[in-house]
Amino acid sequence: MHSALVTGSNRGLGLEWVRQLAGAGWRVFASCRDPAGADELQQLAAAKPEVSVHPLDVTDAAQIDALAADLAERPLDLLINNAGVYFEKFDDDRVGGIRFDEWEETLRVNLLGPARVTEAFADHLGRGSRRLVVAVTSHMGSIAEIGAAGSYAYRSSKAALNAAMKGLSLELADRGIGVLLLHPGWVHTRMGGPGAPIEPEESVRGMLRLVERFQMGDSGRFFRYDGSRLPW
């Protein structure tokens, strides 16, 4: 049985990753900041014995290390770095409407979180058979595709995540661990909003196809959920 760790699995894309992986027969370690408040995830875990729920705030290094220690004897085939935040608030009296405290928090969650989790679970992945890290990123992290002002915190966090994961793909290659950067599309979740045209089921189904056909030649590359390449 293949095994996967999913961060930010209490709702939206993370919950759908857990649902589809479990449905395909994977052993899933589903993590989120507040398991007690994750009703849908808890219901899924109650119905699927292959799913277990674990507390994990990706900005908390001690929690990351604790989970890595709890799962120390477990080989890991797939790490889904899904947890993320998006702030869209503006101060009218400031150029750019930037709130730097929210920018810092965005970087802590969207950039440093996945980097910390990947580092903590590299040994687990090294003992697995699939050995793949997925970073759920965004086309908004593509510098080539910036065509409008705004969303500075989110854009910069995803561009930095892409750069970090590209670098990690080179470092981890010697251990046979691949890294895949995936844009899920504009998805109908709380983050994506009610106008988003893609449902989580379709997005994750497409991303899982990319996981299933992954080869090391794709490590460090940046794809949309439909398999098309994205520019840096």
**What homologous superfamily does CATH list for 3-224?**
NAD(P)-binding Rossmann-like Domain (3.40.50.720)
Those residues with Cβ within 8 angstroms of residue 205's Cβ, 6 or more apart along the chain or in another chain: 20
Q: Extract the tokens encoding 124.
A: 């687990």
pLDDT value at position 94?
A: 56
Angle between helices 61-70 and 113-120 (to 10 degrees): 30
Average pLDDT over all residues of the chain: 94
- DSSP E strands: which ranges in the chain? 3-6, 27-32, 51-55, 78-81, 132-136, 178-183, 221-224
pLDDT digits over 93-123, tens only? 455 667 899 999 999 999 999 999 999 999 9
- Per-residue b/e over 147-181, b at no fewer than 16 CB within 10 Å? eeeebebbbbbbbbbbebbbebbeebeeeebbbbb
pLDDT given for residue 90 in this prediction: 45
At 70, the pLDDT band (50, 70, 90 cuts) reads very high
pLDDT on residue 95? 56
The yes-or-no verdict on residue 83 having pLDDT over 90 is yes
What confidence score (pLDDT) does residue 98 get? 79
Which two three-digit tokens encode residue 140? 């908004």
Phi-psi group of 19: left, alpha or beta (phi > 0 → left; psi -120 to 50 → alpha; rest → beta): alpha
DSSP 105-125: HHHIIIIIHHHHHHHHTHHHH
The DSSP code for 144 is: G
Kindly report the CA angle at 131 between 57 and 217, in degrees rounded to 5?
Answer: 120
Whole-number percent of the chain with pLDDT over 70: 96
| Amino acid 88: pLDDT | 65
The single residue listed with the structure tokens 């479990």 is 22
- Alpha-carbon distance of 23 to 112, in angstroms, equals 30
Beta strand extents in 63-201 (DSSP E only): 78-81, 132-136, 178-183
Per-residue pLDDT, averaged over 222-226, amounts to 98
- Domain extents for the chain? 3-224
Residue-wise pLDDT for 169-212, tens only, equals: 999 999 999 999 999 998 998 888 888 889 999 999 999 999 99
* First-to-final CA distance of the chain: 35
The whole-number average pLDDT for the span 131-155 is: 95
**pLDDT > 90? residue 87:** no
Round to whole Å and give the CA distance between 185 and 225: 6
* Confidence label for 158 from pLDDT (cuts 50, 70 and 90): very high
pLDDT for 195 equals: 84
Nearest to 129 by CA among 172, 176, 169: 176
pLDDT score, position 214? 98
